Amino acid sequence: MEVVKITDYMSVDLINLDLQSKNKAQVLKELLSVIAKSPNIVDSEKCYEALITREKMGSTGIGKSVAIPHAKTEYSENLTIGFGINKDGIDFDSLDSEKAKIFFIFASPIKDSQIYLKILARISRLIRNEAFRTSLLKAKSPEEIIELINKEEALQ
């Protein structure tokens, strides 16, 4: 079985370690502007609408200061993952009512459901580790984020 790695769908230019948003709607737009740098995102406004639609079904704030906003949309040509940190935290309607500080955002073509679900499960598994979450929050560069995720994935 092929191992799906988060970092196969990320790059350093899709990481922002200093998100400035103050609320959920703003941070979704700010995160989308991060992944919109990818040529895979063909219409960022339509991707934003897909993210909002997904959030209305239930918050992607999964707790432990982590949110994983994601959407399947025809406006993403390939699975694309972005990452962001908001040091102050954002009220994201998280399951545990904690503010979200760590964000994995991704958009995926509708046809790629299998990879989409594997990535979602993989991120969910990785972020259970408190030491990993702490190291992400302390990271000083996008390169360090990629390195931390690679190391953690190798342990899985």
**Residues of the domain holding 133:** 6-155
Name the 3-class secondary structure at 95.
coil
Residue closest to 115 by CA, chosen among 67, 69, 72, 51 = 72
Look at the chain and report how many structural domains it folds into.
Answer: 1
pLDDT at 156 over 80: no
Is residue 93 left, alpha or beta, with left meaning phi > 0 and alpha meaning psi from -120 to 50?
A: left
Give the mean model confidence (pLDDT) for residues 61-68.
95
Measured CA angle at 114 (ends 39, 108), to 5 deg: 25
Mean pLDDT for the stretch of residues 77-97: 95
> What are the respective helix, strand and coil percentages of the chain, to the nearest 5?
45, 20, 35
Does 44 map to a domain? yes
CATH no. for residue 126?
Answer: 3.40.930.10
Indicate the SS3 state at residue 22.
coil
> Residue 149 domain-assigned?
yes
pLDDT of residue 33 exceeding 60? yes
pLDDT at 112: 77
Considering only 20-29, 62-71, 116-125, 130-139, which range has the smallest mean pLDDT? Answer: 116-125
Question: Do the bridges between strand 80-90 and strand 100-108 make them parallel or antiparallel, or are there none, so unpaired?
Answer: antiparallel
Within a domain: residue 100? Answer: yes
What's the whole-model pTM score?
0.95
pLDDT at position 2 is 62
Q: Is residue 98 one of the residues assigned to a domain?
A: yes
Mean pLDDT of the chain: 93
Q: What pLDDT band is residue 45 in, cutting at 50, 70 and 90? A: very high
Average pLDDT of the residues in 132-154: 96
Residue 3's pLDDT band (boundaries 50, 70, 90)? confident
Judge whether 22 lies within some domain.
yes
In a domain, 1, yes or no: no
Q: What is the DSSP letter of 128?
A: T
CB half-sphere exposure, 147, CA atoms < 13 A: 8
